[in-house]
Structure 1
């Protein structure tokens, strides 16, 4: 029995339920029933606006986001769905920080809930650098269903591993 690498932190009972769905060939079906369609954010410009709208709604006083893009170099294998980077530069006599958010290209054809969860996660890093209690509190403030969506993203990644095909999009 191969380990469920994306679900290893979850209880044995939860993992058994996922294995049962996999054995019955219903994991993808379950996800498609819960999330029937992909989002309509198709390019970097639309993604930038999407993230800016979230930032404006929840983090008005946070530092501005300078760049947002889909990135084909982000791989789940490296334990990343998205990245938040902060680059500091000296301009004149001032220290300026530029914030960038990159989201894995594999989520270009994912449900809107998955995109929102990843965007919220990366935006939370603007205020909270570590994955601690304050970080997750901020995530659930911006998206009350954050933990459910994170779990479902892990189910999707498991389905991709097992079945090798995308569920949404091309």
Structure 2
């Protein structure tokens, strides 16, 4: 059995089912069938608007976001799919924190559900720093299917790692075009 690094901690029975899909060469197809819609977000302006709309809908009292960007190095450098930071700067006599969210660029080309999952995860960190019960309750408040989507996201990352080249990647996202860490 392969080491399924994105799926560590899941029950053995579930991992056996995943291994069966991998052995049959159907993992990417399975994920694509469950998540056929490609991400509509194509650039950083759209990403900022997308994340701010989620924030406005579910977290009105959370601090404002100064920046939301796709980061092409994030997945490779930090082994993370998204990050949140508070950059502190002195403005006048006060210390001002500017909140930033960075999302791995691979989500431009992935299913829309997975971009939403990462955005929800990073937004939850505006209120809850640790991955505890309150954090996941907030994630489920913003996305009721959060846990199922997180699992499918892990399947998608596994399929990509197992050899999804440009042609296979299009099949993973079920689109005609070619075009993951902390917490997820």
CA distance in 2, matches of 1:6, 1:77: 16
Q: After superposition, where does 1:8-23 map in structure 2 within 5 Å?
A: 8-23=8-23
Q: Which of 1 and 2 has higher RCO (CA within 8 Å, sep 6+)?
A: 2
User: What's the CA shift string for 1:17-71, capped at 9, x where partnerless?
Assistant: 0000011111111111111131110000000000010010011111000000100
Alignment of 1:45-124 (within 5 A): 45-75=45-75, 78-124=78-124
Measure, in 2, the Cα distance between the counterparts of 1:118 and 1:76: 16
3-state SS of 2:39 partner: coil
Which is worse superposed, 62-71 or 75-84?
A: 75-84
- Helix, strand or coil at the partner of 2:65: coil
Q: CA RMSD in A?
A: 1.2
State the shift of 1:160 in Å.
0.9
Structure-1 separation of matches of 2:36 and 2:57: 26
Residue 156 of structure 1 pairs with residue 156 of structure 2: yes
Gaps of 5+ in 1: none
* TM-score (ref. length: structure 1): 0.96
Equivalent residue for 1:41? 41
Query: What TM-score results when the alignment is normalised by the length of structure 2?
Result: 0.89
Quote the Cα distance in structure 1 between the aligned partners of 2:21 and 2:64: 43
Aligned residues: 170
**Unaligned ranges ≥5, structure 2:** 179-184
Mapped partners of 1:77, 1:25: distance in 2: 29
1:139-150 map, 5 Å:
139-150=139-150
